[in-house]
C-alpha cells in the first residue's frame, strides 16, 4: 500500500472512530497481507499532524492513542454548533478532581482535610461514573478508606498523554490569561485552576460535553459542610506537590 493510501485510511479511521486510536488498533484495520508496519503508521501520523498545521483541526496524541480534534483557536465559533451551552464545572467538583489528579492516590478524608469541607457524595459519584476516577485500593488504616486515582479516560477527556502533561505551578502564575470558566487564586487552588483550564479547552474538542453530571454548581456547593482542616486550623496547600507525586 502506498503512503498516500495509508495516510487516507488512517485519517478516515481517526475521523470515523469518534475516539482515540493507538498504532496497533490502526494496524488491525488492515488485512494481514497488507498490514503496515508500526513505524509506517507512526510516520503517517507525523505527516498528518504536519498537514494540519495552521488549520482549524489538529492531530493530538492522548493517553489512549491519537485523535483528530478542533484546534483551541477555532473552538469558540465551533462551539455554537451545539444549541445548549454546556454547564460549567462547579468549583467543588474541580477542586476535588484537581486534588485527585495532583495528589493521587488520595483518600476522601485527605481531600476533606485539604479543602476544609466534607466532600459531597454526589461529586465522588459523578467523577466515578464519568470514568475520570477509579478506586485503586484501600489505605491500610482503620476503616480502610478507598484510594482514588485518575484514569486513562481522564487523560483522554482533558487532552493529556500522561500526568506529566498537567500544567505546572509555574505555568499557572498568570491566572488572568487562562480564560477559564471559574476563577481561582494561585495558592491552595493552583491545581484546581489547572483542571479548570483543561476543562475549558476540552469542551469544543469533545463535542461540548462539559456538564459535571450533577444538578449544578450551586447544589455541589450547598451539599458540603465545613470540615476540620487539622490541628493548626489551616488546609495544606495543593501547590506543595506536582503531578505524579
- Residues 111, 55 within the same domain: no
Question: How many domains does the chain fold into?
Answer: 2
| Tens of pLDDT, residues 27-73 | 999 999 999 999 999 999 999 999 999 899 999 999 999 999 988 88
- Residues 38, 119 within the same domain: no
Q: How confident is the model at residue 199 (pLDDT cuts 50, 70, 90)?
A: low
Domain boundaries, position 98: 91-240
Q: Do the Cβ atoms of 122 and 212 come closer than 8 Å?
A: no
| Tens of pLDDT, residues 164-189 | 888 775 565 443 333 332 223 223 34
- Residues 149, 209 within the same domain: yes
Q: Among 14, 39, 70, which residue terminates a domain?
A: 70
User: In this predicted structure, what is the pLDDT of residue 14?
Assistant: 94
User: In this predicted structure, what is the pLDDT of residue 195?
Assistant: 56
- Residues 119, 209 within the same domain: yes
- Residues 140, 194 within the same domain: yes
**Residue 98 included in any domain:** yes
- Residues 62, 125 within the same domain: no
Query: Out of 187-191, 194-198, 230-234, which region has the weakest mean confidence (pLDDT)?
Result: 230-234
Q: Do the Cβ atoms of 186 and 193 come closer than 8 Å?
A: yes
- What does the DSSP 8-state code read for residue 166? S
Nearest residue to 80 (alpha-carbon basis) of 238, 241, 226, 208: 208
- Residues 120, 236 within the same domain: yes
- Residues 38, 104 within the same domain: no
- Residues 192, 236 within the same domain: yes
Q: How confident is the model at residue 227 (pLDDT cuts 50, 70, 90)?
A: low
**Residue 195 included in any domain:** yes
pTM of the model: 0.59
- Residues 62, 97 within the same domain: no
Give per-residue burial for 187-214: e unless 16+ CB within 10 Å, then b: ebbbbbbbbbbbbbbbbbbbbbebebbb
Predicted confidence (pLDDT) at residue 217 exceeds the cutoff of 50 = no
**Residue 80 included in any domain:** no
**Residue 245 included in any domain:** no
Give the C-alpha separation, 180 to 186, whole Å: 13
- Residues 36, 153 within the same domain: no
**C-beta neighbour count of 219 within 10 angstroms:** 14
Domain of 162: which CATH number? 1.10.10.10
Amino acid at each position: 500500500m502506498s503512503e498516500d493510501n495509508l495516510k487516507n485510511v488512517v485519517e478516515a479511521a481517526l475521523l470515523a472512530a469518534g475516539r482515540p486510536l493507538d498504532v496497533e488498533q490502526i494496524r488491525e484495520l488492515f488485512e494481514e497481507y497488507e498490514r503496515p508496519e508500526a513505524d509506517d503508521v507512526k510516520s503517517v501520523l507525523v505527516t498528518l499532524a504536519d498537514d494540519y498545521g495552521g488549520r482549524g483541526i489538529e492531530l493530538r496524541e492522548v493517553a489512549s492513542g491519537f485523535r483528530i480534534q478542533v484546534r483551541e483557536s477555532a473552538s469558540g465559533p465551533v462551539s455554537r454548533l451545539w444549541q445548549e451551552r454546556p454547564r460549567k464545572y462547579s468549583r467543588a467538583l474541580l477542586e476535588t478532581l484537581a486534588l485527585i489528579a495532583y495528589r493521587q492516590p488520595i483518600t476522601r478524608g485527605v481531600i476533606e482535610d485539604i479543602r476544609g469541607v466534607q466532600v459531597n457524595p454526589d461529586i465522588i459519584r459523578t467523577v466515578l461514573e464519568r470514568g475520570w476516577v477509579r478506586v485503586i485500593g484501600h489505605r491500610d488504616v482503620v476503616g480502610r478508606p478507598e484510594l482514588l486515582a485518575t484514569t486513562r479516560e481522564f487523560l483522554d477527556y482533558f487532552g493529556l498523554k500522561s500526568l506529566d502533561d498537567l500544567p505546572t505551578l509555574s505555568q499557572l502564575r498568570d491566572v488572568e490569561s487562562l480564560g477559564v470558566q471559574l476563577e481561582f487564586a494561585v495558592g491552595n487552588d493552583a491545581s484546581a485552576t489547572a483542571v479548570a483550564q483543561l476543562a475549558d479547552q476540552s469542551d469544543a474538542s469533545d463535542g461540548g460535553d462539559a456538564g459535571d453530571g450533577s444538578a449544578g454548581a450551586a447544589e455541589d456547593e450547598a451539599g458540603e459542610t465545613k470540615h476540620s482542616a487539622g490541628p493548626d486550623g489551616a488546609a495544606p496547600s495543593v501547590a506543595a506537590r506536582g503531578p505524579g507525586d
